[in-house]
A and B are shown apart, each in its own frame.
Chain A
Amino acid sequence: MMRLILRKPTPIRAWGFDPQERSVDDLEIIYEELLHIKALAHLSGMVKRQLTSVLVFECHEKAGTVLFHQGDEGRSWFIILRGSVNVVKYGKGVVCTLHDGDDFGKLALVNDAPRAASIVLREDNCQFLRVDKYDFNRILRDVEANTVRLKEHGQDSLVLEKIPTSTQHSNNNKHHHVSYRYSVMAGVPEKMLEHLLETRIDSKYDPTDTFLEDFLLTHIVFMPSEKLCPALLQHYHSERTSSRGPEQETIDHIVNNKRRVVQLVCLWHVVAGYAFKQDTTIMQFLETLFSAVCDDCPAYPSLQDPLASLEQVLKAVKSTKDSGSHTWQVQTQVLSESRTHQEDELRRTPIKAKDETIFKVYCADHTYTTLRVHMDTSVTNIIQTVSEKMCLGNDLVLCEVKSSGERLSFHQKDVCIATSLSCNGRIFITLRDHLDALTPLPEQEGPSEGSVSFLEPTSSRELAYQMTMYDWQLFLCTHECEFIYHTFGRHKYRRITANLDVFLRRFNEVQSWIVTELCLTSHISKRVHLLKKFIKIAAHCKEYQNMNSFYAIIMGLSHMSVSRLAQTWDKLPNKLKRVFSDFEALMDPSRNHRVYRLALSKMRPPIIPFMPLLIKDMLFTHEGNKTYFEGLVNFEKMHLVASIMRVVKYCRSENFKLDSPPAVKNVKEIVSYVRNLQVIDNTKRLMQLSYTLEPPKT
């Protein structure tokens, strides 16, 4: 019945006819029919009624007919009334089969992208309903399901969700619709990569579309380079797999495909930065890809440009590859680099996985052995080495003993443990059963004398400036990926987080330093002077937008052993008391640190963000969201993770161009002081000191 009406007036006129000539009764009958079509089930009655006047019936007699080709412009949306079709992709063959009631062709319409696959009839006499692009946009674009699921071999392989994008740019266009974009919500890694290559490489730059960047920032979680590299090579060579088939591939398609792979690799290099150079898989892959492109150039001359960009990447990677490895010494507190060449001793370089680290491993009786191992040496290997050196026996554990006596065992697979220690923590080794017998070394107590005599005559501004310069370097050395390793577990990826560790520890160091200095200053007037100085340093840090040290100082001043010193606070000038209470208000944790977040949103880079909160956001995102669901990567989580990494990127998108304070004589001394803070980090000891300064009133 319906077929007759739809085909009316005659099948021959079908291509040119105007469906709006259908009578009211015809429309009613079509409407009744539409109610039974699966692909339309989610649409409202209103939309179905609108569709009745635009649907076109289309019938094809021969199996094997191609309805449209991959790469074609998308002109219509189709619903299968009767029959079945194969969805065919270049290089992959048939990826799925669709039957009665299924629909296809939507994605190219909403994205204004070329067809992502070809549609080939599986049987004779297939019947379709067709909605052309103009009508689709008019009726369905805004109401169409917010979620698009692409299937391959009967399984969801990519889930996209419609999100509105900014409409500012489309004001001049005549398009009357709001613009939308499909954002990847979940997917199989390989399918997401394919989607990325097909839709994101050639598209115009859209600042709201972060799929490409997010994929490259987070791929380690779901598609580490060991998988990503071969997949890219496979894409590059995808014409080979299908050359035996009768597919009508054009040279254009092959070249475009190759070019996109090369372009993606170049972008990957931009995003990954120095991490590229440290990954041997990537290095090998670059060589392989480069020679493949070289080989292809004679056949496809238009690959010359991509080849040139790839060559640049290769050059860039190689030029810095052999800058030499460094040795890092875990001294009393800070990880300092022991350099053989004295160039610019103030500039730090990032710690790399193959750099060596020197540290001591203690036994229960406080004897020790000194180890020199690579940063990425695992705990298991360290235990083995120590055990051989000291003949200790089996079932050993490696652990950190904090100054408070707390013991934390290391995970067997963990790496770069030397940088992950707490301020005065030390590495111990012991038999598993004897863990409880470990006690901290006397040196872990920290200093017994403060440095008030040094601090008193030194300018607060100079101190804040040198602290900020050091923090900035630590921040710059931290790679965005370290946040991922830190959050998802570095032992899983066997990647080091040494730079991040050192930077995060800096927060605790500065905080403890404040408390230590105040608690070690027995003379009250000197203590008041120091208190003033610290508030002033905090003010300068805030002015420099060094929020990390700013918060560390304020939290140090709010530490119980300091805040309880009522006599000291009493003698603080009122003006500074007010300044301090303003600062304390910025620390308010209410509504997930709303005050700080608002303040941060008003700042322009360069900024050194308040790291503990950034780490908290990252962990929240990780613990609150699953990485996989129903076998697909939860890419929404990756978007969230990447957005936090982008905050890091944003904060350091401008370099620090601070005017250094007027030159002082002892700059070198100040620099070395702020980089080697000696602290007490045992709260019990700090409280004891505080009680001797001002005994409790009882």
Chain B
Amino acid sequence: MPEQSNDYRVVVFGAGGVGKSSLVLRFVRGTFRECYIPTIEDTYRQVISCNKNVCTLQITDTTGSHQFPAMQRLSISKGHAFILVYSITSRQSLEELKPIYDIIREIKGDVDGIPIMLVGNKCDDPNREVSIQEGMEQSKFWSCAFLETSAKTNYNVKELFQDLLQLEKRRTMSLHLETKKTKSQKRREKLKGKCTVM
């Protein structure tokens, strides 16, 4: 298949209900659980910088693929980086990531150069079943990175993608939005200042 060099594919895995879609939507749109139409192809795209060039970050949500191993394999073989999401409220959801990790290793062979992030989502939820330590141990075992996030409160969401891109050693990746955000923030602060004067 012709590889589009200006595409960078991040594949998100996780059991149903761990908040995969929410995390991605929070990142792409900055919103939490808005009404969401799956077949619109642009939903999961974001422009980022790669080796100082513009590049499209494509996020593949793998919902429903557990039933079709071939689909899982397809996403993995076409993916550059991987996010493995479990919910801190469900040990089962962490367990379910194990076969996924094995398949990634199997298909990618050497996982050393491949950015993989283990993510404990819903860290705002008080009904915790998986401790931070457990998450960290698992990530050490897999020698991958680890973060706890909350799509609901927007905690660590941007960091998740930022850190993931920094794990990519073959190219220099960074989220493009950084500078934009600060500019608009500055402007907002300026405006705020004016308001208080008035």
Contact = CB atoms under 8 A, between A and B. Distances in A.
Interface of A: 406, 504, 507-508, 511, 552, 555-556, 558-560, 581, 584-585, 587-592, 594, 597, 612, 615-621, 623-626, 634, 636-637, 640, 683, 687
B74 A587 contact: yes
Contacts, number: 110
Contacts of A623: 16-17, 20-21, 63
Interface stretch (B29-37, B115-123, B139-147): B29-37
A590 B44 CA distance: 10
A559 B21 contact: no
25 contacts: A504-B67, A511-B70, A552-B70, A555-B70, A558-B77, A581-B1, A589-B60, A589-B74, A590-B9, A591-B45, A591-B58, A592-B44, A597-B39, A612-B67, A612-B68, A612-B71, A616-B38, A616-B63, A616-B65, A619-B64, A624-B21, A624-B36, A624-B38, A625-B36, A640-B38
Interface in B1-44: 1-2, 4, 7, 9, 16-17, 20-22, 25, 33, 35-44
B168 interface: no
A619 B38 CA distance: 9
Interface of B: 1-2, 4, 7, 9, 16-17, 20-22, 25, 33, 35-45, 58, 60-61, 63-65, 67-71, 73-75, 77-78, 99, 106-107
Contacts of B75: 589
Contact of A640 (B17, B20, B37, B77): B37
Contact of B39 (A559, A585, A592): A592
Looking at chain A's contact residues, is the secondary structure mostly helix, strand, loop, or mixed? Answer: helix
A687 B40 CA distance: 36
A616 B107 CA distance: 22
Contacts of A559: 70, 73
A508 B106 contact: no
A504 B58 CA distance: 27
Q: Which of A555, A594, A620, A624 has the most CB of B within 10 A?
A: A624
A636 B34 CA distance: 11
A594 B38 CA distance: 12
A585 B60 CA distance: 17
B16 A590 contact: no
A406 B99 contact: yes
Contacts of A588: 1, 78
A620 B68 CA distance: 15
Given A592-B39, A619-B63, A508 B68 contact: yes
Contacts of A636: 35
10 shortest A-B CB distances, which residue pairs?
A: A620-B38, A624-B36, A591-B41, A619-B64, A555-B70, A616-B64, A612-B68, A624-B21, A619-B63, A617-B38
Nearest to B75: A589
A634 B34 CA distance: 12
A559 B68 CA distance: 13
B151 to A, nearest CB: 12
Contact of A590 (B35, B39, B58): B58
B21 A508 contact: no
A624 B33 contact: yes
Contacts of A616: 38, 63-65, 71
B112 to A, nearest CB: 17
B39 A617 contact: yes
B35 A637 contact: yes
Nearest to B24: A624
Given A616-B63, A624-B21, A594 B41 contact: yes
A403 B6 CA distance: 40
A192 B119 CA distance: 41
A344 to B, nearest CB: 31
B74 A619 contact: no
